[in-house]
Amino acid sequence: MFKPVLLSLAVSAVPLVAKESYELSAPVAEGLDDPIELTVLPNGDLFVIEREGRVLRVCPTTGGTFEIAKFDVSALRSNDPDSPVAREEGLLGITLDPKFAANGRLYIYYSDPVKTINRLSRFVYRDGKIDRTSEKMLLEIPVERDRKVCHQGGSLAFGPDGLLYLSTGDNTNPFESNGYAPIDNRPDRVQFDAQRSSGNTNDLRGKVLRIRPTEDGYEIPAGNLFPKGTAKTRPEIYVMGCRNPYRISLDPKVGTLYWGEVGPDAGDNGPRGPRGYDEVNQARKAGNYGWPFVIANNLPYPIVDFTTGQPGGMTDPAAPKNPGARNTGLPVLPPANSAFIWYPYADSPEFPVMGKGSRNAMAGPVFYYNASRKWNILGKEDDHTLLTYDWARGRIWKAKLGEGEKLVSLTPFADKLVHPIDMEQAADGTIWVLEYGTNWWFNKDGRVRRLRPGTDNRAPELAAEAVAGQPGTFTVKNTSDADGDTVFVHWFLTTGAGEKDLGTEATVKVAEGSGTELRAVAADGKGGVTIKRFPLVKQDAQPALALELEGKPKSLGFGETVKFQVKAPSAPDAKTVSVRARYIPPTGHDAGGPEFAPGIQELVTSRLCLACHQVDQASVGPKYVDVALRYRDRADAVNYLKDRVLKGSTGDWGEVPMPAQAISEAEADKIVKAILHLGDGISATKGTLSGELKLPAAPANAAPGGAWEITAEATGYLTTRARVNAK
């Protein structure tokens, strides 16, 4: 129990807020780098893996985050973001042994940094660290990494029977089949052919595997798709025909497997097959789920000749055939199973509650009501309900299961999540939500939040700060609680893979070099917690650019040209260099960067536009500022961009298709006009270390006393800024 710090506590009566059916906490861990998967320890702590190789322990009660291992993995890096290699590799999956409390064992799936394989290994956690010398390799799966192959899957989970499940993706480039089935048989197109992986009974990719770990490796359990010894098959396969089964879940009572299947991008049905769908799948027994020959509710693809582009015979879902030139397995596959839930970019006739827009399906925990448990996120009426969610849409749905585990109802449950990438239920009923971060890669804002039943209780407020003039000294200035609860404050210091309890005094002093983060944790004794963090160690910084303006001008006018040179100790790749001038009015509004007006910001947030785009940061889609600069001089820019927003587009800015957005024409008109206005007062040039930059014409808000912000940025370098008065 926290002891009270003797401070001024606010106890005035405040009207209670309306009770919600659920409550998402403030982050218990934040600042995570592309977090991928989490697992819950018996003591309530969490293990979290990050894409580029770190394994972290999160202590929710103290807010501490501790590095317990760092794996060297093959992964896309920020210094080469356009690399065609290792697009979706890295540290991919983690789960605990069912007897972890006794044996300390855990399982990790990762991309080897040298060999072109993904590896499943067992490790031992001891003395607060993962013992890397304890590694016991169970499986190595050969993969292709070049030519922008994607889809590694990687989710790990144990079933109630002690069997270990591993999802694997089709390891295929999806960008050159027009959003339809990638079944390219041409000799030089290995990476564009999912027949060799998902549709191959003799390959472990594009599957969900099921094994029983043993001391020396693993055994094949009864009931997998192909009995051990069956020619041209792998006995580890439980489910085949997967594209990218990214997040799996096992029913804790009956062992049924659920997974989210990230689907292809075709926006419409066509001669080459049905439009793309994401799926939530259910497997009560081993089976084939169709990809790349069948999708959704057993909609078949034709076998396309990629040399001529002509579609051939249609797949029979009851007896699909794999005619692939690289198929090393059976020519006739098991019957295809329909998806459990399926939905396209557009409105779903079968499941309209899923909405429309970007999509990345995930499967969460199966909920069973337990009256003796501390927390039940749903009521007794929702006993036996799958929580399914979508990374792109930031929402959770309740899939109520009935007799025979059939879907009875599908209803919205929670929203306003930021790219949820994993959800796990703790023993006390808490649902832990791992949020990946704002962008598609290189996030620094991943976080962990707690999902519990809604209450009227509000978290306390905490004001704490470093004491000026007293290095290493920190103090709690004030606490308050809107519900009148007594607030308890405790200090913790992160020291390597552990932490030190600094007690409950109002002021603490920390010696230089004694830790990496100090935390003040305020709690109200009713579950409300607020954490104030003080980093004590500067993070390694990227090298900085230098920007030189010829003549060192003291002022510049609209329409003038300025010569520049970008320098650095080691010259950056000129192709990644961008130099930009932006006018800032004398009011200083927008000095922090281009931004939407509040009403537009709310609209793009609610319509999920930020799943793929940011105003002025790189994501999987283009920056909105770059869109404005490219199209603002087109006479038909508004109508052209509205059409792209409403219908989707492919190939304009990169290989990832931008789906049709779930907005009305009037909303699209507002958003497009707001995007184009982001370019007001901005000009830019790219791809050179030296040259000329012509400043833009005067925007509508130009006035005496304004200034120019001139920036230079390049991949792998800190952005540099120069400020020059505007004439």
Segment holding 546, helix H or strand E: strand 546-549
Q: What burial class does residue 716 get, using C-beta atoms within 10 Å of its C-beta: 0-12 exposed, 13-18 middle, 19+ buried?
A: middle
The sign of the dihedral angle between the CA atoms of 534, 536, 539, 545 is positive
State the Cα–Cα distance between residues 200 and 204, nearest whole angstrom. Answer: 8
For the packed helices 665-677 and 637-647, what is the interaxial angle rounded to 10 degrees? 130
Residue whose pair of structure tokens reads 């980093």 in the numeric block: 535
433: left (phi over 0), alpha (psi -120 to 50) or beta: beta
The answer to whether the beta carbons of residues 39 and 68 sit under 8 Å apart is: no
- What is 580-603 written as a DSSP string? EEEEE-TT-TTTT-----HHHHHH
The answer to whether the beta carbons of residues 164 and 158 sit under 8 Å apart is: yes
In a 13 Å sphere around the CA of 704, the CA atoms on its Cβ side amount to 0
Kindly provide the residue ranges of all beta strands, DSSP E only, lying in 179-285, ordered along the sequence. Answer: 207-213, 218-219, 237-240, 245-250, 257-261, 278-283
Residue whose pair of structure tokens reads 């041409």 in the numeric block: 186
Any binding-site annotation on 419? no
State the Cα–Cα distance between residues 562 and 473, nearest whole angstrom. Answer: 48
Contacts of residue 308, defined as CB under 8 A and 6 or more positions apart, other chains included, come to none
Any binding-site annotation on 613? yes
384: left (phi over 0), alpha (psi -120 to 50) or beta: left
* CA–CA–CA angle 64, 68, 71 (5° rounding): 135
> What six digits make up the tokens of 354?
């899923």
Annotated binding site for heme c: 609, 613, 658
Query: What are the binding residues?
Result: 609, 613, 658
